[in-house]
């Protein structure tokens, strides 16, 4: 019994020893596996390096245009304010807004009663002077006969010298009075012509072919021309429109008359309309329309206000598509090249003389520096005059720099220019 118990204790001890050794083996194997994986990862990180990834663009052919952009406003080539030269009530208006009129067409009538009366009065004054002239001529004829008779008597010593002098004085006086009356008659004729013209002015006619773009005075209103000529309506020739393009002072030195321009309108942004720059106004619109101000206010305004000069060009408008005050997005073409080699402007590096600049070119996966000659540029693409061939790849950035830039900014990487 005692022996059996001794053997049992020995057996239990051996089992415990075997279990302990088995756990140690498992721990050793796990540790070895961890060390192996760690070593492999460390070797990969230490001894392997991924090839850098570059963002490239191909050298391609395209049309490049260097231009100055401006915002413009459309106006009619010729606009006339049709006014009244006489005072009175606007009795009748024969046109409405948008009507097309011809030169000489009756547009409106001002109540002509006052002008008719003035004409009648002038004509009566002229007739009165004419009657006085007739009477004075008859009297002059009488005095002429008397004067001749006295001369004959004096020649025969049959008449007195006093009678001769009296007859001569009457004749000369009457002739002078007749001259004065004839001057009054001419003045009366002028008064009649003026009254007749004022009567004609009550009929307001179109001074040119055009379209009624504004009605300022309605029927029944009274116009007073004593101080300024009141405007009845506005006529515009819409067959040709003038575009006033506001060109900034930084760009105005680059443009000149004769350059090609094109523009689009907000209602049809896909269609370009072309023209030729006709003129550039020498002063700003504010300077040409405002009165002279003090030098202090002038200097303060120029420091805070952008300066623009109007570039003018005309465009045909046969179908009346363009209207007064429309906005035009204008481009003045400074230079252009058709189907030339080009690369993005972002690929250009150091700028040298005579249009030479450096770029990085990717050849067989490796970057290399190259000096090229650049032509015109539109701030997006630049013309390549020499130094590159069509199809070559130029480097505009690398993925690593894009990732680091985006990470340092606390944002996920995105396309260049994203904010």
Predicted confidence (pLDDT) per residue in 346-355, tens digit: 999 888 777 7
Q: What is the 3-state secondary structure (H, E, C) of 269-283?
A: EEEEEEEECCEECCC
Q: What is the largest CA-CA distance in the chain?
A: 217
Residue 96's φ and ψ, nearest 5 degrees, are: -130, 170
* Pairing relationship of beta strands 356-363 and 268-276 according to DSSP bridges: unpaired
H or E, element range at 360: strand 356-363
Q: d(Cα 207, Cα 279) in Å, to the nearest integer?
A: 27
For 174, 189, 221, the CA distances from 179, given in Å and listed in that order, are 9, 15, 46
pLDDT computed for residue 154 by the predictor: 79
Tokens of 42: 């460390």
Q: Is residue 206 within 8 Å of residue 105, measured between CB atoms?
A: yes
Handedness of CA 42, 46, 51, 52 (dihedral sign): positive
Q: d(Cα 264, Cα 71) in Å, to the nearest integer?
A: 10
> Mapping DSSP to helix (H, G, I), strand (E, B) and coil, where does residue 268 land?
strand
Of 227, 239, 248, 272, the closest CA to residue 85 belongs to: 227
pLDDT computed for residue 181 by the predictor: 93
Predicted confidence (pLDDT) per residue in 116-154, tens digit: 999 999 999 999 999 999 999 999 899 889 888 888 887
pLDDT computed for residue 261 by the predictor: 96
Q: d(Cα 333, Cα 146) in Å, to the nearest integer?
A: 92
pLDDT computed for residue 292 by the predictor: 46
Phi/psi region, residue 316 (left: phi>0; alpha: psi -120 to 50; beta: rest), is beta
Kindly give the parts of the chain with pLDDT less than 50: 1-2, 4-8, 10, 48, 291-302, 402-419
| CB atoms inside a 10 Å sphere around CB 110 | 25
pLDDT computed for residue 415 by the predictor: 39
pLDDT computed for residue 40 by the predictor: 67
Of 109, 113, 110, 129, the closest CA to residue 190 belongs to: 129
Angle CA(206)–CA(212)–CA(214) in degrees, nearest 5? Answer: 120
Q: Is residue 62 within 8 Å of residue 339, measured between CB atoms?
A: yes
Tokens of 193: 């012509």
Domain spans, the chain: 1-49, 112-201
Q: What is the 3-state secondary structure (H, E, C) of 32-83?
A: HHHHHHHHHHHHHHHHCCCCCCEEEEECEEEEEEEEEEEEEEEEEEEEEEEE
pLDDT computed for residue 18 by the predictor: 59
Of 279, 240, 249, the closest CA to residue 261 belongs to: 279
Q: d(Cα 110, Cα 246) in Å, to the nearest integer?
A: 41
CB under 8 Å, gap of 24 or more: what pairs does 254-259 form? 254/68, 254/334, 255/68, 255/280, 255/311, 255/332, 255/334, 256/280, 259/332, 259/333, 259/334
Buried b (16+ CB within 10 A) or exposed e, 15-30: eeeeeeeeeeeeeeee
Helices 113-155 & 161-201, crossing angle to 10 degrees?
A: 160
CB under 8 Å, gap of 24 or more: what pairs does 315-321 form? 315/240, 315/241, 315/243, 315/263, 315/273, 315/275, 316/239, 316/240, 317/238, 317/239, 317/240, 317/241, 318/239, 320/238
């Amino acid at each position: 019994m005692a022996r059996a118990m001794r053997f049992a204790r020995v057996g239990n001890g051996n089992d415990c020893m075997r279990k302990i050794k088995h756990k140690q083996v498992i721990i050793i194997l796990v540790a070895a596996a961890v060390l192996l994986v760690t070593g492999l990862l460390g070797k990969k990180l230490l001894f392997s390096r991924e090839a850098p990834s570059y963002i490239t663009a191909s050298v391609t052919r395209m049309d490049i245009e260097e231009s100055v952009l401006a915002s413009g406003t459309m106006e009619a080539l010729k606009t006339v304010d049709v006014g009244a030269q006489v005072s009175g009530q606007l009795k009748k208006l024969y046109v409405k807004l948008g009507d097309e009129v011809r030169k000489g067409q009756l547009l409106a009538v001002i109540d002509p009663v006052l002008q008719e009366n003035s004409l009648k009065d002038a004509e009566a004054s002229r007739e009165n002077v004419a009657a006085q002239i007739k009477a004075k001529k008859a009297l002059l004829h009488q005095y002429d006969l008397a004067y001749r008779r006295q001369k004959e008597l004096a020649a025969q010593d049959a008449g007195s010298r006093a009678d001769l002098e009296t007859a001569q004085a009457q004749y000369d006086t009457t002739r002078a009075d007749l001259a004065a009356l004839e001057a009054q008659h001419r003045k009366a004729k002028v008064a009649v012509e003026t009254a007749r013209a004022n009567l004609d002015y009550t009929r307001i006619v179109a001074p040119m072919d055009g379209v009624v773009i504004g009605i300022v005075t309605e029927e029944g209103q009274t116009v007073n021309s004593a101080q300024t000529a009141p405007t009845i309506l506005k006529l515009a020739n819409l067959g040709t429109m003038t575009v006033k393009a506001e060109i900034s002072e930084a760009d105005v030195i680059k443009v000149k008359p004769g350059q090609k321009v094109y523009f689009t309108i907000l209602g049809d942004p896909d269609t370009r309309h072309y023209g030729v720059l006709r003129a550039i106004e020498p002063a700003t619109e504010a300077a040409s329309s405002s009165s002279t101000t003090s030098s202090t206010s002038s200097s303060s305004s120029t420091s805070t206000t952008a300066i623009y000069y109007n570039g003018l060009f005309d465009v045909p408008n046969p179908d009346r598509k363009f209207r007064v005050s429309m906005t035009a997005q204008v481009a003045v073409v400074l230079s252009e090249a058709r189907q030339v080699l080009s690369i993005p402007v972002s690929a250009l590096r150091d700028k040298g003389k005579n249009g030479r600049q450096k770029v990085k070119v990717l050849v067989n996966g490796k970057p290399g520096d190259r000096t090229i000659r650049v032509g015109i540029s539109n701030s997006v693409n630049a013309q390549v005059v020499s130094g590159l061939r069509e199809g070559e790849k130029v480097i505009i950035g690398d993925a690593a720099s894009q990732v680091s830039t985006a990470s340092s900014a606390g944002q996920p990487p995105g396309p260049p220019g994203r904010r």
